[in-house]
A and B are shown apart, each in its own frame.
Chain A
Amino acid sequence: QKEVEQDPGPLSVPEGAIVSLNCTYSNSAFQYFMWYRQYSRKGPELLMYTYSSGNKEDGRFTAQVDKSSKYISLFIRDSQPSDSATYLCAMKPGAGSYQLTFGKGTKLSVIP
C-alpha cells in the first residue's frame, strides 16, 4: 500500500459545481497536510496548509482533515474554468521534518 493514495481522475465538472478532492494515507505520523494546485507546465502553488483535524476555509476552498480516518479533502465551491488544474495533496510528519510525501495528483477540468 502506498503511503498516500489519490485518485488521478480525470475529473470533469460543470462550472459552478462543488468539487470534492480526496486523499487517504497510511502513516499515522503525518501531522501537517497541504493542498497544492499545479497548472500545466508550472510549479505547484500552495492552496491550503493545515495541522489539526477539522476544517479550514479560505475563500472558495475548504480543507478538511480527519486524522482518525487518515483522510483529507479539499472542497472547491462555485468552481470556475480557471480552477482547471492538477491538485496535489502533500503531507509530512512533525514540525522538524521537511520532507513531503505527495499524492499522485487529481486532474480537474471545469467545463464552462
Chain B
Amino acid sequence: GAVVSQHPSRVICKSGTSVKIECRSLDFQATTMFWYRQFPKQSLMLMATSNEGSKATYEQGVEKDKFLINHASLTLSTLTVTSAHPEDSSFYICSASTTGGVQPQHFGDGTRLSIL
C-alpha cells in the first residue's frame, strides 16, 4: 500500500523549455502533496506544499512563477518548471500524505531533470 508514482523519471531538454512532472497517489487519497528538490549528496529540500483544491505554499526562496504547482484532485499533483535553465537541473521528488498529518509521507521515485 501507499504507492506514489512519479512521471517522467528522466527529462533532458533544451534551455527555455517548460517541463511538467506528474505525481500520483495510486492506492490512497492524498490531501497533501509535497515537492522536494535534491542536489547530489544532499538531503531533500522542501520546495512547496500543496493541498487539494488550494494554492500551493512555497518555501522561502522558491519562485512560485518558476515552479507552478497544481493539485487538482486527491490523487494528482503536477509541478511545471517554466522556461527551465541549466541551473534548474536537479532531482525533483514528490511525496504524499493523507489527512491529519499522523500518517507519514510516501515518496515517488523522483524525476531527474537535465537542462542543456
Which of B42, B101, B109 is close to A43, meaning CB atoms less than 8 Å apart?
B109
Is B106 a contact partner of A46 (Cβ separation < 8 A)? Answer: yes
Is B49 a contact partner of A99 (Cβ separation < 8 A)? Answer: yes
Chain A binding surface SS class: loop
Residues of A within 8 A of B104 (CB): 32, 34, 46, 49
Residues of B within 8 A of A43 (CB): 4, 6, 93, 95, 107-110
Per the CB 8 Å criterion, the residue count for chain B at the interface is 26
Chain B residues in contact with chain A, CB under 8 A? 2, 4, 6, 32, 34, 41-44, 46, 49, 91, 93, 95, 97, 100-102, 104-110, 112
Residue contacts A-B, CB under 8 angstroms, 29 given: A41-B110, A41-B112, A42-B110, A43-B4, A43-B93, A43-B95, A43-B107, A44-B44, A44-B93, A45-B107, A46-B2, A46-B105, A46-B106, A94-B101, A95-B100, A95-B102, A97-B101, A98-B32, A98-B34, A98-B49, A98-B101, A98-B105, A99-B46, A99-B49, A100-B105, A102-B43, A103-B43, A104-B42, A104-B43
